[in-house]
Amino acid sequence: MRKLFLIILLPWTMLSAHIDLTKAQANYIAKKVWQNEGAGKDKYLVWWNKGEDFASVGIGHFIWFPKGHTERFREVFPMVVAFVQKKGVKMPVWLTPESDLPWQSKTAFFAAKKRRTKQYMELFHFLKGTMPQQAEFMAQRLRQALPQMLGTIKDPKKAATIERRFNHMLYRKNGKIDERGLYILLDYTNFKGEGTLKSERYKGQGWGLLQVLEHFDEKNLNKYKAFSDAAKAMLARRIRNSPPARGEERWRKGWNIRLDTYWK
């Protein structure tokens, strides 16, 4: 049985961001993220990418493993299911946070997709009908991201820098939430993770939100472009460090186009 990761809030992070989305914000972010992940097209709502051993489902293309699968990346979809379940949403009877991906191979998955089997269609309609809740899940994940990152840092000075840069992105000078900054943090955390999972490393180097904030140029007056530039640098490093067999160079152009939406 899979285990969902738990976040421990440390005392010195209790004043971190309070992020609650309005219905309008949830719908807006859902559409923005879904445009990034699946071009806003229904056919990509339940998908299996080339060169990957797992499915990518929902507006955030949340990773979902078949039974017995082991992978370096964090499996997020069971967390989404648990969150939506707690919201009281009617679920397909077979879908729980402990459910494995029903199809054991990419071939079996696309065969079910082509035939529009009952199980596939139930999953599709569940994902189509819960887009705002999926956006709310991503906001919750972002709320937990700061204490999670700070909990991995032993140097108080470095921890203070990461917290300052996170808040710089999230808030305007008047102390109100910067909606564009919120979208950027939320999208990148969903896109490439918090950067705290040791297995999400190539040659010991990560590419998540933590690593982006570590390389964030605070001297750049355009904070959105500063974040985009740092993210591009971290993903370029990931490509350099990745096993050649994974062929990650093919992702570079699409990743950079996505990161350009943060400031253009």
Nearest to 141 by CA among 93, 186, 84: 186
Domain shared by 69 and 107, yes or no: yes
Average model confidence (pLDDT) across the chain:
88
Domain shared by 107 and 206, yes or no: no
**Cβ–Cβ < 8 Å for 62, 55:** no
Domain shared by 125 and 196, yes or no: no
Band (pLDDT 50/70/90 cuts) for residue 71 is low
Does 8 map to a domain? no
Query: What's the residue count for the chain?
Result: 264
Does 14 map to a domain? no
The answer on pLDDT for 3 being more than 70 is no
Predicted TM-score (pTM) of this structure: 0.78
Q: Over the stretch 188-241, which tens digit does the pLDDT of each residue have?
A: 998 899 999 888 999 999 999 999 999 999 999 999 999 999 999 999 999 999
Does 176 map to a domain? yes
Domain shared by 58 and 107, yes or no: yes
Domain range enclosing 187? 151-260
Q: Over the stretch 100-152, which tens digit does the pLDDT of each residue have?
A: 999 999 999 999 999 999 999 999 999 999 988 998 898 888 888 999 999 99
- Taking CA atoms, 68 is separated from 1, 53, 56, 102, 105, in Å, by 10, 12, 17, 12, 12
Domain shared by 162 and 255, yes or no: yes
How far apart are the C-alpha atoms of 33 and 189, rounded to whole Å?
A: 11
Sheet (strand 55-57) strand order: 46-47, 55-57, 62-64
